[in-house]
Amino acid sequence: MGMESWWSKFISVRSFILLLLNATHCFSPVQSQALGQVDECSALLQFKESFAINKSVSADPLAYPKVSFWKREGDGNRSNCCSWDGVECDEDSGHVVGLNLSSSCLYGSIYSSNTLFRLVHLQRLDLSDNHFNFSQIPSRFGHDLSSLTYLNLSNSLFSGQIPSEISKLSKLSTLDLSFNYQKADDGIPLKLTKANMRSLVQNLTTIKQLHLNWVEMYFTVPDILVNASSLTSLQLGDCELNGEFPVGIFHLPNLEVLDVNGNSNLTGYFPNFNKSNVFKKLNVGATNFSGMLPASMGNLHSLNFLDISWCHFYPLIPSSLGNLTQLNYLVMNSFNDVSKGKIGEFPSFVSNLTQLEFLDLSDNEISGQIPSWLMKLTQLTSLSLDDNNLQGPIPRSLFQLKNLEYLSLSGNNLSGLVEFDQFSKLKKLKGLDLSNNMLSVGITNDLSATLPKLQTLALGFCKLQGPLPIPPQSIRFYDVENNEYTGEISPLFCNFNYLQVLELSNNHLSGMIPKCLGNSSVLKILGLHNNFFNGYIPPICPSKTSLRIVDFSYNQLQGKLPRGVMNCTQLKVLNFANNQMSDIFPSWLGALPELRILILRSNGFHGVIGKPATKHEFPKLHIIDLSNNGFSGMLPSNYLEIWNSMKYVDENRATYYEVDTDVLGGHYYRSDYAMTIRGKGVELKYERIPYHLTLIDLSSNRFEGEIPEGPIGNLRGLVLLNLSNNYLTGHIPSSLGDLAALESLDLSQNQLSGRIPSNLAQLTFLEYFNVSHNHLSGPIPLGEQFDTFQEDSYEGNSGVVSGLIVGVIVGDIWTTKKHEWFVETFSRRRKPRGTRDRRGRRT
């Protein structure tokens, strides 16, 4: 599982709140008791009626439905709408000039017929933090609301092309269309063409704040932006921008905020800065910026936010960065150039930055010990030094950082004994990660007295023994995997109402699994892999829950799969491998709309896999492993026909299975999922599962009959296919040659006959091929991958003519030059990655 840079989300949330405060200032209430125009008040009431109220759609915890209090009173030519919540009127004319419905729990679509567009005198409009159901932004915003100076449609799930008419709002000083998309949502992102971007910049001559984060652009940043001299804030994060960033933008005279983070194909470099620069926030994280950090960065005396993480800057850090004494946010994780240069020892310039609140230097191969001078950074609330080469003990001076709320030291070589009671000095601590070190942690059984506010605790690989410690009631994330804990899970774990992640894998825990764990309405990840739990599986999801991942594999569980799992409508991963279960194929799991991984390997499942009840079962299934069971009958061709998600090749090879959990009140922990499969002739352990990985393993059962030619050939997204050790007969289907993404094909130990189809040679990704111990005959296909396979791939087939076989595979480790995601590892690691969630916060 992977600890993410949640503090970057925190600062984004904080920026979002500041923006809302600015908006509130813009919408200051009218002092007089002006009455509104009747037609405009009527338009507002009709606007209200066009939406449903859903309190779950607004992210702001203080959100409330402002329109619920709108009621018509008064008569004649005036009405009372000027006193309604969120409405601002002109004192003299009574026209509605401001409408602030941010975080108002509005749900529904905005169409061009909406009565909002009758408010033609509007100057300030804020509809942020609602849910507009992926509707397009109507062009009437530009046609009818020409007096607008402030327009904020952020965080409200609009989608589609931004209309060119927006550029007609020539009086705008603020335009915010950011954060309108998330991969998990059913819509498409907002999009902007290069021509419309140029029109925006050309026509909005007084624009000060231009915020377009998450708007898909797919073009180079227009040079015309270097002429936007009125800009104070330019935010273009995660916009799929490419090419070289115009260096002249850094010299805009009034620019205080520049954010282009997350544009991985955007190149650029920092210019020389002079003392006239007024930057307060500079964020180029997760871009392709490179070169040297200029010493002149020390001239940015007003800078309070700097993110240069995940770039390719040369790791020679100028000491002048120590002049940035106003910095309260510094992120330099994964800070290296293309030649893999290293920072070396802990950068000393940080000691001057006494106003720092957030410091992230993770994943930099920093060596040496944690410096004792960190105690000078008394304002620190978040410190992340994970995934470095830090050695030695945790310095006692660290426990003097009284404001610390989050501390991550995972993935280093820290050693020595740490008594958990020492952390009791950090009264505000909410998150602690000491995992993957060489520490010995002395920990009490009850953590409530030591850290009563603790919400996140990660102590994997900390040599912990004894009974499982009981965290405080505030716990949201509890990960103590890969230790030596013994005994049973205490029933006190049933009382944790906020627990979202419980990861107890790879310990020596035993006994029955408490029934309550499957009942939680907030638990998202339940990992009990590789322990000694026994007895029957407790009820899971007796009612609707939030579970995404359930992993009970490698235990001693018995009985049948609980039917309550049908209620886990958000479940993505279900793994019961290597237990002692006895059941027929749970076809009812096909109703789960989000299930992508189903692993029931090495149990006592049995019987014939029949026909699906509908054509829509298992709609998102990508990985199914039923190997080493007692299934019989024909291969489930009817299921193979409807596994539509396996029929396409996912080209997005940079994405992995992960679950976001809100573990610190708006600050997220991103959890990867690990699993073990049998593929390419060896046991493969994935520390992270590629989102595109598609796998079918039906090996070591009692399936018989022929391999279905048509259904199997349509699964063109398949990467691994294992049908070995069954009783299959007939020919090898030539349609297997259509599986262009296939990397591993194992048909060994069956009763197949005939020739090996020659078109299998066109499978250019094929790295493992085994048809041994069948009744095959004829020549071995030559060329491409078949020139690399060993003779034991064909042994036990007396009729096969050995062709030219060259190449040697050393040992049993297979690698691939094409797909870097194939890793063989026996541990999980945490690695922060720059990503985004629906509400616009960086992780």
Any idea which of 257-266, 682-691, 802-811 has the lowest mean pLDDT? 802-811
The strands making up 312-313's β-sheet, listed across from edge to edge, are 242-244, 265-268, 288-291, 312-313
For the cut 80, the answer to whether the pLDDT of residue 299 exceeds it is yes
The mean pLDDT value for 510-531 works out to 91
pLDDT grade, residue 336 (50/70/90)?
low
For the cut 60, the answer to whether the pLDDT of residue 668 exceeds it is no
How many helices and strands in the chain, by DSSP H and E? 6, 58
Specify which residues 124 forms β-bridges with. 98, 150
Question: Rounded to whole angstroms, how far apart are CA atoms 122 and 98?
Answer: 6
Which tens digits make up the pLDDT trace of 123-158? 999 999 999 999 999 999 999 999 999 999 999 999
**184 burial class (0-12, 13-18, 19+ CB within 10 angstroms)?**
exposed
- The answer to whether residue 713 sits within a structural domain is yes
- The answer to whether residue 829 sits within a structural domain is no
Query: If we measure between CA atoms, which residue out of 783, 772, 554, 776 comes closest to residue 681?
Result: 772
- The answer to whether residue 741 sits within a structural domain is no
Which phi and psi angles does 127 have, rounded to 5°? -115, 20
Which segment, 32-46, 326-340, 702-716, is predicted with the most confidence on average? 702-716
Which tens digits make up the pLDDT trace of 481-504? 999 999 999 999 999 999 999 999
pLDDT grade, residue 33 (50/70/90)?
very low
Which tens digits make up the pLDDT trace of 187-203? 688 999 999 999 999 99
CB 405, CB 382: distance < 8 Å: yes
Query: What pLDDT score does 359 carry?
Result: 97
pLDDT grade, residue 812 (50/70/90)?
very low
CB 657, CB 673: distance < 8 Å: yes
pLDDT grade, residue 517 (50/70/90)?
confident
The mean pLDDT value for 163-184 works out to 90
pLDDT grade, residue 802 (50/70/90)?
low
Query: What pLDDT score does 811 carry?
Result: 31
Query: What pLDDT score does 831 carry?
Result: 35
Counted domains in the chain: 1
Q: Is beta strand 78-79 parallel, antiparallel or unpaired with respect to 36-37? A: antiparallel
Query: If we measure between CA atoms, which residue out of 804, 801, 809, 735 comes closest to residue 769?
Result: 809
Any idea which of 11-20, 251-260, 405-414, 574-583 has the lowest mean pLDDT? 11-20
Amino acid of residue 167: S
Query: If we measure between CA atoms, which residue out of 711, 701, 705, 700 comes closest to residue 731?
Result: 705
For the cut 50, the answer to whether the pLDDT of residue 838 exceeds it is no
Any idea which of 55-69, 550-564, 575-589, 657-671 has the lowest mean pLDDT? 657-671
Amino acid of residue 115: T
Query: What pLDDT score does 78 carry?
Result: 58
Q: HSE-up of 836 (CA within 13 Å, CB side)?
A: 23
Q: HSE-up of 664 (CA within 13 Å, CB side)?
A: 28
Question: Rounded to whole angstroms, how far apart are CA atoms 691 and 623?
Answer: 10
- The answer to whether residue 97 sits within a structural domain is no
CB 442, CB 418: distance < 8 Å: yes
For the cut 60, the answer to whether the pLDDT of residue 806 exceeds it is no
Which tens digits make up the pLDDT trace of 696-753? 999 999 999 999 999 999 999 999 999 999 999 999 999 999 999 999 999 999 999 9
pLDDT grade, residue 815 (50/70/90)?
very low
Q: Which residue matches tokens 């919540």?
A: 85
Q: Is beta strand 305-307 parallel, antiparallel or unpaired with respect to 281-283? A: parallel
Any idea which of 333-347, 384-398, 681-695, 829-843 has the lowest mean pLDDT? 829-843
Question: Rounded to whole angstroms, how far apart are CA atoms 339 and 352?
Answer: 29
- The answer to whether residue 120 sits within a structural domain is no
Question: Rounded to whole angstroms, how far apart are CA atoms 254 and 698?
Answer: 64
- The answer to whether residue 640 sits within a structural domain is yes
- The answer to whether residue 584 sits within a structural domain is yes
Q: What is the pTM of this model?
A: 0.84
Query: What pLDDT score does 17 carry?
Result: 40
Query: For a pLDDT cut of 90, what percent of the chain falls above it?
Result: 73
More reliable by pLDDT, 587 or 342: 587
Query: What pLDDT score does 72 carry?
Result: 78
Q: What is the chain's mean pLDDT, rounded?
A: 87
- The answer to whether residue 273 sits within a structural domain is no
Which phi and psi angles does 725 have, rounded to 5°? 60, 50
For the cut 60, the answer to whether the pLDDT of residue 817 exceeds it is no
Q: Which domain holds residue 650?
A: 498-730
Q: HSE-up of 382 (CA within 13 Å, CB side)?
A: 20
Q: What is the CATH number of the domain that holds 646?
A: 3.80.10.10
Q: Is beta strand 106-107 parallel, antiparallel or unpaired with respect to 389-392? A: unpaired
For the cut 90, the answer to whether the pLDDT of residue 687 exceeds it is no
Fill in the DSSP letter of residue 446.
Answer: B
CA quadruple 317, 320, 326, 332: dihedral, nearest 10:
0
